A = this chain, B = another copy of it.
Amino acid sequence: MRLSQFHLRTEKETPADAEIVSHKLMLKAGMIRKLAAGLYTWSPLGLRVLRKVEAVVREEMNRAGAIEMAMPSVQPRELWEETGRWAKFGPQLLKIRDRKEQEYCFTPTAEEAVTDFFRQEVASYKQLPVNFYQITSKFRDEIRPRFGVMRAREFIMKDAYSFHADDESLHAQYRTMYDTYTRIFTRLGLKFRAVAADTGAIGGSASHEFHVLADSGEDALAFSETSDYAANVELAEAVSPGARPAASEALRDIETPAQKTCEDVAALMGISLARTVKSVAIMAGDGDGNLPEKGGQFVLALVRGDHSVNEIKLAKLPGLADYRLATEAEILEYLGSEPGFLGPLHAQKPIRVIADRSVAALADFVVGANKPGFHIAGVNWGRDLPEPETADIRNVVEGDPSPDGNGSLRMARGIEVGHVFALGRKYSEAMKCTVLDGNGKAVHPAMGCYGIGVSRIVAAAIEQNHDDAGIRWPQAMAPWQVAVCVINPKSDPAVAEAAETLHAELNAAGIDTALDDRGLRPGAMFADIELIGIPHRVVVSGRGLEAGTFEYRARSSAEAENLDRAALLARIANG
């Protein structure tokens, strides 16, 4: 590709309204343009990168035996009513009314549509297993779209859906998809981790997320330093600590006039933060999907001062599926205190106390006194309080033992770019989708679903691969592998011709190469090529021609070298 015939428009200024580096660099490199909130046009440069990602995803899905098809973006409400997701999906579902006042949505995911396709197409277990996928635009009406294409409203997703006669087949396909995702992200040249994940609203029996590791990632991940264990912090188990020591202190009030946090109390008392206990006041829902708007059971969730409550774990406890934080009025009613001094002793009314395992293992700990300006020290289970209901309700922290018993946990931040789910029969049952089994009996097929955020990968790759000069694409995602830059193409026809020849040869050899024949000054040209992240830069100049060399510089290197043709080709071939 001759860049003089391409539309490359980089910006000198760093965009003011972009918060994260990938958004800034995509705007600066001219890869995307905002059309409206969360809606982006992919420029020719941006689309080249997007298509490279798509191609790798498609090749690997095909290699795994998945079959590509395409469902409409606009899908009828009736279908979404069959699974109840029309209501459950919430305001992220973009709803549409047509000229006949029929209701539709812009598909965020296609479990319903693919199950409808399947139930019309497949009648017998003999046609199973099958895995359908598509790479199409999806829409989520994010309340706060941001970070460019990282959290856009319209985005490109690869979504795949498999159907199985039995669970064994589902789990085999789940493993195949897990391995396929591993190959995809490896081929894309990304540092990533697969982590066990919560199955959340989609449901099902098993689920793994694939995260590109980056400090700016929205998700916290925990992994063992010495084993394969890795999980989203949402899910990672905080294992039981050792046995509780014996009580050794007397119960006593501590004056804490201005100390409303565990940190302040621990500092005042000169004790470890790990001996203080945080009390989080919540109202339990009725477990039937009805939020406890008024009343409900008052619950105090206790975690150590150096820990934080894991809301997903909490919501999985009996009766807490729809919990919410208690209001100040409710806290006053049940505990007789204002927030900052809450604790499990001296409640005004009966309450449910749930202690994290690490809190249950404490002796001589400190809690709020339910009296403004006071905490209570020397608290002991069994002596000052009944033995509590105990559960794992905290987020793991760095240094916690790994749940698999191997080593301790470290933390990383990740950007979720893929997700595999073993769905089970949730959708096939809700949509009355059956096939005949070997005995001629109608059975609901087991299903899996497997998503990859194709457009998000582009941004995630930049978060992981950039420097002050711009993007540093992994080979497989680069818009071009090589940029051949010409100094003064118009003033020296021999230089222009040598560059043309090299450009043509590299492309003929299957190395995607751009010829920068725009006639820019070297400084501006090199800045562009660095900004847009081309892995290999070759400069063709009159001086080099005389010496029989090309100036080569890898994007990852600070130094340029003069190489003859053979050495140059070898260097490029080495990647």
Contacts and interface: CB of A to CB of B under 8 A. Distances in A.
Interface string A74-115: 111011000000000001101111110010101000000100
Interface stretch (A41-49, A184-192, A423-431): A41-49
A573 interface: no
Contact of A41 (B37, B69, B154): B69
Interface in A27-49: 30, 33, 35-37, 39-44, 46-47
A139 interface: yes
Contacts of A136: 137
Contacts of A36: 72, 75-76, 78-79, 102, 104
B41 A113 contact: yes
A141 B98 contact: yes
Q: Which of A6, A70, A91, A143 has the most chain B CB atoms inside 10 A of its CB?
A: A70
Contacts of A40: 72
Interface string A1-22: 0000111010000000000000
A69 B139 CA distance: 19
A36 B65 CA distance: 29
A532 to B, nearest CB: 15
A121 interface: yes
Identical copies of this chain, number = 2
Nearest to A62: B1
Given A30-B121, A94-B96, A44 B69 contact: yes
A47 B72 contact: no
A512 interface: no
B30 A42 contact: no
Nearest to A99: B91
A320 B72 CA distance: 41
A185 to B, nearest CB: 23
A116 interface: yes
Given A7-B121, A96-B96, A130-B7, A116 B35 contact: yes
Interface residues of A, number: 58
A137 B138 CA distance: 12
A43 B132 CA distance: 9
Most buried by B among A46, A67, A153: A67
Interface string A116-140: 1100111000010010100011010
Nearest to A154: B72
A73 interface: yes
Contacts of A37: 102
A437 interface: no
A interface majority secondary structure: mixed
A9 B68 CA distance: 15
A71 interface: yes
A35 B70 contact: no
Contact of A35 (B33, B50, B113, B121): B113
B42 A70 contact: yes
A95 B117 CA distance: 27
Contacts of A44: 67-69, 132
Contacts of A143: 99
Nearest to A67: B44
Most buried by B among A47, A91, A99: A99
Given A5-B65, A121-B43, A153 B74 contact: yes
Nearest to A121: B9
Contact of A94 (B43, B50, B70, B98): B98
Contacts of A50: 70
A104 B141 CA distance: 12
Nearest 8 pairs of A and B residues by beta carbon: A36-B76, A39-B72, A42-B70, A91-B99, A44-B67, A41-B71, A72-B154, A44-B69
Interface of A: 5-7, 9, 30, 33, 35-37, 39-44, 46-47, 50, 65, 67-76, 78-79, 91-92, 94-99, 102, 104, 106, 113, 116-117, 120-122, 127, 130, 132, 136-137, 139, 141, 143, 153-154
Given A7-B132, A41-B117, 16 more contacts: A33-B120, A35-B116, A36-B72, A39-B72, A39-B75, A41-B71, A44-B69, A47-B69, A72-B137, A73-B106, A95-B97, A96-B96, A96-B106, A98-B153, A106-B106, A136-B137
24 contacts: A7-B67, A7-B69, A7-B121, A9-B121, A33-B117, A33-B120, A35-B72, A36-B78, A39-B74, A39-B75, A39-B76, A41-B113, A41-B117, A44-B67, A47-B69, A50-B70, A73-B73, A73-B154, A74-B94, A74-B106, A74-B153, A95-B97, A96-B96, A96-B106
